[in-house]
Amino acid sequence: MNTRIKIISIVIVTLLAVLAAGIGLANPRQFYKITGDSYTLMENWGNTEIWTTVFAKANPSTDVPKGKFTIRITNPYEEGERYYETRPVCMDFYQDDMGTSWAIVVHRITEEGVSGFGPGLPGEYAKWKIQDTGEPGGRGDSFALAYECYDENFERTCDIDGDGIPDDYYDEFWPADGEPPACDDAGFVDVIPVEGGNLVIH
Where exactly are the structural domains of the chain?
1-28, 31-201
Q: Give the pLDDT band of residue 185 (cuts 50, 70, 90).
A: very high
**Looking at beta carbons, which pairs linking 10-19 to residues 24 or more positions away fall under 8 Å?**
none
Rounded CA-CA distance 200/133 in Å is 9
Q: Averaged over 32-38, what is the pLDDT?
A: 94
pLDDT tens digits along 91-149 = 999 998 888 999 999 999 999 889 999 889 999 999 999 999 989 888 999 999 999 88
Q: Residue 90: its pLDDT value, please?
A: 95
For residue 59, how many C-alpha atoms fall within 13 Å in the half-sphere facing its CB?
A: 7
Q: Residue 148: its pLDDT value, please?
A: 86
* Of the candidates 19, 72, 27, the residue with the CA atom closest to the CA atom of residue 197: 72
Q: Which residues pair with 68 in a beta bridge?
A: 55
Rounded CA-CA distance 40/31 in Å is 25
Q: Residue 151: its pLDDT value, please?
A: 65
Average pLDDT over the chain reads 83
Q: Give the pLDDT band of residue 31 (cuts 50, 70, 90).
A: confident
Q: Residue 97: its pLDDT value, please?
A: 87
Q: Give the pLDDT band of residue 169 (cuts 50, 70, 90).
A: low
Cβ-Cβ contacts under 8 Å for 131 (sequence gap 6 or more): 100, 101, 102, 140, 141, 142, 143, 144, 199
12-16, 26-30, 147-151: least confident range: 12-16
pTM passes above 0.85: no
CA distances from 96 to 132, 170, 197 (A): 11, 29, 22
